[in-house]
Amino acid sequence: MPRASFSTVGCKLNTYETEMLRYEFARAGYEIVDFGDSADVTVINTCTVTSRADADCRKMIRRARRASINGTVVVTGCMAERATEDIAGMSEVDLVIGNAGKAHVLERVTSFRNGTSDDETVFAAPSLAKSQQFLTIHSSDEAGKHGRTRATLQVQDGCDEHCTYCIIPSVRGRSRSRPLSEIVEHARRIAGMGYREIAITGVNTGAYGEDTEASARFLDVLRAIAEIDGIERVRVNSIEPNAIDDALIDFLTTEPKICRHYHIPLQSGSDGVLKRMNRRYRTEQYSHIIKSLRTRQPNAAIGADVMVGFPGETDAEFDETVRFIDSLPITYLHVFSYSEREGTPATKLGGHHSRAIKDRRNRELRKLGLEKREEFHRRHIGDVVSVLVEDSRDPITGSLRGLTDNYIRVTTDASRTAINTFVPIRIVDADAHGAAGIAICDSADESTAGERKTAVAEVSV
């Protein structure tokens, strides 16, 4: 049996696509092994959003070749789309397949290994503009073998926002929505595999439907998925502020299956910087959204992406960002330093900052983010929370871990019989990285069903 391994650099959409490729190779008879083990085929799904991501991708490529001297090394994803010839020029690489060709990775690898392909390293796939293929699970036979409790579902690809710093529209193409009927079919298949939670992903999920003549929009996607039996949680991985209106807020905060977890990119707390970034909202609108969500759901987790060191960002504008974030009930931050991407308008702006300035601002915001995260976690000490227990163990204690609907990573004493079930757990300790709790009862123990029902009812809104 041939062996295949996979590595992902970058976003949750990349992670989803890698998982789909893993299923495809497993269905084709490959044994899936850990990245770094010797393999006949190694696929690296790349990111290119920053220069650091590029460096990480090159490191993974070199590591893949060291592990599999005679194996086939395949590079796909965003860096493969942006820097095709550079990647093809690396001695470690056998095949380069851009984003539009991801649906053809197995086909191309099979031809290459059988000696029936041409000698070209680069796979000439359909253009991004014409690509309408979405990777999906075709078989339920392999899914359960990975011990997963949460499945990711792609509803959209590409982006039309054209923020001045962002390379994504160039490497992912224009916004393209997956047909609603296909999304529902895929979600039902996921439910049939035994997954309890679906995480919705895309490049710009809130733009769903804007590229089609159909009337369905992102709210319709959420409604349709929430109606599927077997799926008990629906998590929205990320949504742009300009896509959030009162109707969406109403649904998010009243539909019981929607997780109380909202990741809403901010990028800057200065209206001047937001304007130069070509972001389609301002701080007043962003503040209204965050406060509306928190008012309706006091224990909701609200995360934000924020960028430091954008060209021309003054000390005063950075201080605006710090004060703005500090004033909002945001519970965690993903902080990035501006990275120049060739071909984006921001490269032509004046006032580019030194690495030292960007690092200092990055550290300050990360510190604020950790303080907010720890405060949010510690607020739950003493509470009973419902945790979806995963087949994952804490590396220090060896205890099982799970996730609450409001994005708290909990280490618990629950037994293995609780995996992929919802267990009521009382939080006894917490820090910036997560929480520790004691299972009130093992959800797999039918003798405690009455106690379990009461315990779950205690979970805070």
Q: Which of 78-82, 106-110, 147-151 has the lowest mean pLDDT?
A: 147-151
Where do we find the tokens 């190694």?
42
Quick one: CA dihedral 322, 366, 206, 258, positive or negative? negative
Q: Is residue 147 pLDDT above 70, yes or no?
A: no
Please write the tens of the pLDDT for every residue from 14-72: 999 999 999 899 999 999 999 999 999 999 999 999 999 999 999 999 999 999 999 99
The pLDDT-based confidence of 135 (bands split at 50, 70, 90) is low
Backbone angles phi, psi at 143, to 5 degrees: -60, -45
Q: Per-residue pLDDT tens for 87-112? A: 999 999 999 999 888 888 999 999 99
Handedness of CA 334, 335, 340, 346 (dihedral sign): positive
The whole-number pLDDT of residue 43 equals 97
Query: Which pLDDT value is given to residue 140?
Result: 41
| Closest by CA position to 311, among listed 349, 280, 277 | 349
> What's residue 103's pLDDT?
85
Task: Give percent of the chain above pLDDT 90.
Answer: 79
The pLDDT, as a whole number, for residue 441 is 73
130, pLDDT greater than 60 = no
- Amino acid 447: pLDDT: 33
Q: Tell me, what's the pLDDT at 453? A: 38
Give the mean pLDDT of 436-457: 54
Q: Give the mean model confidence (pLDDT) for residues 161-172.
A: 94
Q: How far is the first Cα of the chain from the last one, in angstroms, to the nearest whole number?
A: 50
Residues 6+ apart with CB under 8 A from 437: 385, 387, 410, 411, 412, 425, 426, 427, 428
* pLDDT of 124 above 70: no
Residues pairing with 335 in the sheet: 306
Given this model, what pLDDT does residue 449 score?
37
pLDDT tens by residue, 210-265: 999 888 999 999 999 999 999 999 999 999 999 999 999 999 999 999 999 999 99
Give the model's pLDDT for residue 121: 73
| Window from 115-129, 302-316, 342-356, 381-395 with minimum mean pLDDT | 115-129
Q: What is the pLDDT of residue 128?
A: 61
Task: Give the pLDDT confidence of 260-313 residue by residue, as tens digits.
Answer: 999 999 999 999 999 999 999 999 999 999 999 999 999 999 999 999 999 999
Looking at every residue in the chain, the average pLDDT score rounds to 90
Query: What pLDDT, on a 0 to 100 scale, did the predictor assign at position 250?
Result: 98
